[in-house]
Amino acid sequence: MGLLGGVEMGLSYIAHSVFRFIQLVLALTVCGLYGVDLHAANKEHKYSDGKWVYAEVTASLSAVTALLYLIPFVSRIGLLFIWDTILFILWIALFGVFGNMYIHERAEGDGGVQRMKNAVWVDLVNALLWLFSAVGMAVFWARSRGGRSRWTGRAAV
Protein backbone atom coordinates (compact mmCIF):
# COMPACT_ATOMS: atom_id res chain seq x y z
CA MET A 1 0.00 0.00 0.00
CA GLY A 2 2.82 2.40 0.83
CA LEU A 3 4.55 1.99 -2.51
CA LEU A 4 1.36 2.36 -4.53
CA GLY A 5 0.26 5.38 -2.51
CA GLY A 6 3.66 6.96 -3.04
CA VAL A 7 3.57 6.41 -6.79
CA GLU A 8 0.05 7.79 -7.04
CA MET A 9 1.03 10.83 -5.00
CA GLY A 10 4.09 11.36 -7.20
CA LEU A 11 2.10 11.13 -10.42
CA SER A 12 -0.56 13.37 -8.96
CA TYR A 13 2.03 16.00 -8.06
CA ILE A 14 3.61 15.80 -11.52
CA ALA A 15 0.21 16.28 -13.18
CA HIS A 16 -0.52 19.17 -10.82
CA SER A 17 2.84 20.78 -11.62
CA VAL A 18 2.34 20.43 -15.38
CA PHE A 19 -1.13 22.01 -15.09
CA ARG A 20 0.25 24.92 -13.05
CA PHE A 21 3.16 25.36 -15.45
CA ILE A 22 0.69 25.67 -18.34
CA GLN A 23 -1.21 28.30 -16.36
CA LEU A 24 2.04 30.16 -15.73
CA VAL A 25 3.06 30.09 -19.39
CA LEU A 26 -0.35 31.29 -20.60
CA ALA A 27 -0.43 34.09 -18.02
CA LEU A 28 3.00 35.25 -19.14
CA THR A 29 1.80 35.04 -22.74
CA VAL A 30 -1.05 37.42 -21.93
CA CYS A 31 1.42 39.75 -20.20
CA GLY A 32 3.39 39.88 -23.42
CA LEU A 33 0.38 40.28 -25.72
CA TYR A 34 -1.08 43.23 -23.83
CA GLY A 35 2.28 44.61 -22.74
CA VAL A 36 3.16 45.44 -26.35
CA ASP A 37 0.41 48.08 -26.47
CA LEU A 38 1.23 49.43 -23.02
CA HIS A 39 4.89 49.75 -23.97
CA ALA A 40 4.01 51.52 -27.22
CA ALA A 41 1.75 53.97 -25.36
CA ASN A 42 4.46 54.63 -22.78
CA LYS A 43 7.07 55.14 -25.48
CA GLU A 44 4.88 57.79 -27.16
CA HIS A 45 4.14 59.43 -23.78
CA LYS A 46 0.43 58.60 -24.01
CA TYR A 47 -1.76 57.42 -21.17
CA SER A 48 -2.11 53.74 -20.40
CA ASP A 49 -5.65 52.56 -21.03
CA GLY A 50 -7.22 51.02 -17.94
CA LYS A 51 -8.40 47.96 -19.86
CA TRP A 52 -4.85 47.01 -20.78
CA VAL A 53 -3.63 47.69 -17.24
CA TYR A 54 -6.43 45.43 -15.95
CA ALA A 55 -5.27 42.71 -18.34
CA GLU A 56 -1.69 43.02 -17.09
CA VAL A 57 -2.73 42.95 -13.43
CA THR A 58 -4.94 39.89 -13.96
CA ALA A 59 -2.22 38.06 -15.85
CA SER A 60 0.41 39.02 -13.26
CA LEU A 61 -1.74 37.80 -10.37
CA SER A 62 -2.32 34.55 -12.21
CA ALA A 63 1.36 34.08 -12.98
CA VAL A 64 2.41 34.68 -9.38
CA THR A 65 -0.32 32.35 -8.12
CA ALA A 66 0.64 29.58 -10.53
CA LEU A 67 4.28 30.01 -9.52
CA LEU A 68 3.39 29.75 -5.83
CA TYR A 69 1.30 26.64 -6.51
CA LEU A 70 4.39 25.00 -7.97
CA ILE A 71 5.95 25.02 -4.51
CA PRO A 72 5.26 21.65 -2.87
CA PHE A 73 2.42 21.60 -0.33
CA VAL A 74 1.32 25.20 -0.94
CA SER A 75 -1.73 23.96 -2.85
CA ARG A 76 -2.75 21.86 0.17
CA ILE A 77 -3.70 24.97 2.12
CA GLY A 78 -7.46 24.94 2.66
CA LEU A 79 -9.86 27.28 0.90
CA LEU A 80 -7.47 28.16 -1.94
CA PHE A 81 -10.29 27.32 -4.33
CA ILE A 82 -11.81 30.68 -3.37
CA TRP A 83 -8.76 32.50 -4.77
CA ASP A 84 -8.90 30.34 -7.90
CA THR A 85 -12.57 31.29 -8.29
CA ILE A 86 -11.70 34.98 -7.98
CA LEU A 87 -9.04 34.57 -10.68
CA PHE A 88 -11.59 32.79 -12.88
CA ILE A 89 -13.98 35.74 -12.49
CA LEU A 90 -11.19 38.20 -13.33
CA TRP A 91 -10.31 36.21 -16.48
CA ILE A 92 -13.94 35.94 -17.59
CA ALA A 93 -14.36 39.70 -17.16
CA LEU A 94 -11.18 40.23 -19.18
CA PHE A 95 -12.47 37.93 -21.92
CA GLY A 96 -15.78 39.83 -21.93
CA VAL A 97 -14.16 43.25 -22.20
CA PHE A 98 -11.71 42.40 -24.98
CA GLY A 99 -14.02 39.92 -26.67
CA ASN A 100 -16.59 42.65 -27.06
CA MET A 101 -13.94 44.91 -28.58
CA TYR A 102 -12.13 42.47 -30.90
CA ILE A 103 -14.05 39.27 -31.72
CA HIS A 104 -16.14 40.87 -34.46
CA GLU A 105 -13.38 43.25 -35.58
CA ARG A 106 -11.86 42.62 -39.01
CA ALA A 107 -8.07 42.55 -38.93
CA GLU A 108 -7.62 43.28 -42.68
CA GLY A 109 -3.85 43.04 -42.48
CA ASP A 110 -3.52 44.99 -39.23
CA GLY A 111 -1.13 43.00 -37.06
CA GLY A 112 -2.18 44.77 -33.86
CA VAL A 113 -5.84 43.89 -34.29
CA GLN A 114 -4.98 40.28 -35.18
CA ARG A 115 -2.75 40.04 -32.10
CA MET A 116 -5.60 41.29 -29.91
CA LYS A 117 -8.05 38.85 -31.54
CA ASN A 118 -5.65 36.05 -30.65
CA ALA A 119 -5.22 37.42 -27.13
CA VAL A 120 -8.98 37.21 -26.56
CA TRP A 121 -8.89 33.45 -27.10
CA VAL A 122 -5.88 33.05 -24.83
CA ASP A 123 -7.91 34.94 -22.21
CA LEU A 124 -10.73 32.41 -22.60
CA VAL A 125 -8.34 29.47 -22.24
CA ASN A 126 -6.91 31.07 -19.09
CA ALA A 127 -10.42 31.52 -17.69
CA LEU A 128 -11.26 27.87 -18.33
CA LEU A 129 -8.00 26.69 -16.74
CA TRP A 130 -8.71 28.70 -13.60
CA LEU A 131 -12.27 27.34 -13.54
CA PHE A 132 -10.93 23.77 -13.69
CA SER A 133 -8.42 24.69 -11.00
CA ALA A 134 -11.13 26.13 -8.73
CA VAL A 135 -13.33 23.07 -9.14
CA GLY A 136 -10.41 20.70 -8.59
CA MET A 137 -9.23 22.55 -5.50
CA ALA A 138 -12.79 22.60 -4.09
CA VAL A 139 -13.09 18.84 -4.60
CA PHE A 140 -9.68 18.31 -2.97
CA TRP A 141 -10.69 20.51 -0.03
CA ALA A 142 -14.05 18.78 0.41
CA ARG A 143 -12.49 15.31 0.33
CA SER A 144 -9.76 16.20 2.80
CA ARG A 145 -12.15 17.55 5.45
CA GLY A 146 -13.08 15.39 8.38
CA GLY A 147 -10.75 12.55 7.55
CA ARG A 148 -8.81 10.36 9.92
CA SER A 149 -5.06 10.08 10.26
CA ARG A 150 -3.30 7.80 7.83
CA TRP A 151 -1.44 5.63 10.30
CA THR A 152 -3.80 4.86 13.16
CA GLY A 153 -7.14 6.16 11.97
CA ARG A 154 -7.85 7.59 15.42
CA ALA A 155 -6.94 11.25 15.05
CA ALA A 156 -9.19 13.65 13.19
CA VAL A 157 -7.33 15.53 10.50
- Does some domain include residue 83? yes
* Cα 67 from Cα 42, distance rounded (Å): 28
Report whether 97 contacts 52 (CB < 8 A). no
* pTM, full prediction: 0.84
Q: Which domain holds residue 26?
A: 2-144
- Does some domain include residue 23? yes
Highest mean pLDDT among 37-46, 57-66, 143-152: 57-66
Report whether 103 contacts 71 (CB < 8 A). no
Read off the pLDDT band of 42 (50, 70, 90). Answer: confident
Residue 130 neighbours by CB distance under 10 Å:
27
- Does some domain include residue 72? yes
pLDDT at residue 1 above 70? no
Q: What is the pLDDT of residues 43-57, one digit of tens each?
A: 888 888 889 999 999
